[in-house]
Structure 1
Amino acid sequence: MAKVIMYSTGVCPYCIQAERLLKAKGVADIEKIRVDLQPGLREAMIEKTGRRTVPQIYIGETHVGGFDDLSALDRAGGLDPLLAA
């Protein structure tokens, strides 16, 4: 299974939904980068993704985006192959 990294905060409902969807897909380990605890990491996230909001999700080397992007990818049938890579 591909490595999953998620930039998140402790109180983000979309982060919780993204984690729930990923776990339902069999992802046992999500590396969470808490940008609320270390503000410098938020700046790094913005520089890397071009986005300010959380979650920002990477599956392997692929930047999926936020929860809406993750959900759309799943509905389109693209999430399972990406996770299996």
Structure 2
Amino acid sequence: MAETLIYGKPTCPHTRRALDAFPHARFIDVLMNPADMEAMLQLSDGRRRIPVIVQDGKPTVGYKGGS
């Protein structure tokens, strides 16, 4: 089973909800490292919306209508 990744900011309520829903996901704080921000932007086609959730290699932008 592939690892779930969640790109976001720790202060974002939508990121927090996604982390609560996926407690075993690896959290990537996009504010801590510019390279992580660039990776997130690649996954989201340049959209600056969080969280970006990657499951089975497929990115989803936002969580349950929030971003």
TM-score normalized with structure 1 length: 0.63
Pick the structure with more helix per residue. 1
**Misfit runs of 4+, over 2 Å:** none
What residue ranges of structure 1 are gaps of 5+ in the alignment?
24-28, 70-85
> Identity over the aligned pairs, expressed in percent?
27
Whose radius of gyration is greater, 1 or 2? 1
Alignment of 1:2-81 (within 5 A): 2-23=2-23, 29-50=24-45, 51-68=47-64
- Give the alignment's Cα RMSD to 1 decimal: 2.0
- Does the 8 Å contact 1:10/1:36 carry over to 2? no
